[in-house]
Amino acid sequence: EAGVTQSPTHLIKTRGQQVTLRCSPISGHTSVYWYQQALGLGLQFLLWYDEGEERNRGNFPPRFSGRQFPNYSSELNVNALELEDSALYLCASSLHLYGGRQETQYFGPGTRLLVL
Amino acid sequence: KQEVTQIPAALSVPEGENLVLNCSFTDSAIYNLQWFRQDPGKGLTSLLLIQSSQREQTSGRLNASLDKSSGRSTLYIAASQPGDSATYLCAVKEGGSEKLVFGKGTKLTVNP
């Protein structure tokens, strides 16, 4: 069974540009999560999508946005890139059982973004 | 606001040693706690998940314990091997939220 996949693996952009990162969850998983891992800051929660809807959002500005498609894949968009957006962006997926057993989040390999 | 702390930040041990990694969290209202492994420049691999109602989980040479009331978890690695070298991350899932709150990790080096 294929794991979580992300594209591209690496990306270099300049300040002010826009970027789109992509994530395909494990087959059957309906929830997709995005995290940012910036140097020295640890992993920070960005966004959670389930069944096509944004369910929760971390403490990030509105220029970080995304969406989830009917096939449960997801995009993360970052507008007006700033130098501090340089980070490893990780996507995770899980089954989501409302009121039920909490499921493990499975992580993809990440997209490394460098903003110059 | 939930905060997760991992001590030590880095650890270097000789091969074969048993070791313990520590994780503490400030708010005991959690759904579960997970331990992950991250290799340099790579994504995360889930090692163990402990539900809030559980006290420990075991997988091979790994054993994780959870004491919700004191806000602590430990990851015990038995008979460490060079292949165990990685950064180990602890994360809690907060009650009422699907997001994971991570510690900054412990970087483990096992020397042959």
DSSP letter string over A46-102?
Answer: EEEEETTEEEEE-S--TTEEEEE-TTS-EEEEE-S--GGG-EEEEEEEE---TTSPP
Question: Bigger pLDDT: B96 or A91?
Answer: A91
Give me the amino acid identity at A82: E
CB A72 within 8 A of CB A94: no
Q: Is the pLDDT of residue A94 over 80?
A: yes
With b for 16 or more beta-carbon neighbours within 10 A and e for fewer, the A31-51 pattern comes to bbbbbbbeeeebbbbbbbbbe
Mutate to test the interface with A, among B32, B38, B98, B100 (most CBs of A within 10 A): B98
pLDDT band at A39 (very low <50, low <70, confident <90, very high): confident
CB A18 within 8 A of CB A80: yes
The answer to whether the Cβ–Cβ distance between A33 and B46 falls below 8 Å is no
What is the per-residue pLDDT for A40?
79
Does A96 contact chain B (CB < 8 Å)? yes
Preceding peptide of B8 cis, ω within 30°: yes
Mutate to test the interface with B, among A32, A45, A111 (most CBs of B within 10 A): A45
What is the per-residue pLDDT for A100?
52
What is the average pLDDT across A36-58?
90
CA distances in angstroms from B7 to A28, A72, B22, listed in the order given: 36, 37, 5
The answer to whether the Cβ–Cβ distance between B43 and A104 falls below 8 Å is no
Search chain B and give the residue with CA nearest A104. B49
The answer to whether the Cβ–Cβ distance between A102 and B93 falls below 8 Å is yes
For residue A23, the tally of other CB atoms under 10 A from its CB is: 27
pLDDT tens-digit map of B35-55: 999 998 788 999 999 988 999
The answer to whether the Cβ–Cβ distance between B99 and A107 falls below 8 Å is no
Q: Is the pLDDT of residue A99 over 70?
A: no
The answer to whether the Cβ–Cβ distance between B100 and A104 falls below 8 Å is no
What is the per-residue pLDDT for A102?
58
In Å, how far is A82's CA from the nearest CA of chain B?
21
The shortest CB-CB distance from A56 to any of B36, B99, B103 is to B99
Strand A74-78's sheet: what is its strand order?
A5-7, A19-24, A74-78, A64-68
CB A107 within 8 A of CB B38: no
Interface of B with A in 41-60 (CB under 8 A): 41-46, 49, 51
Q: Which of B70, B56, B72, B59 lies closest to B21, judged by CA?
A: B72
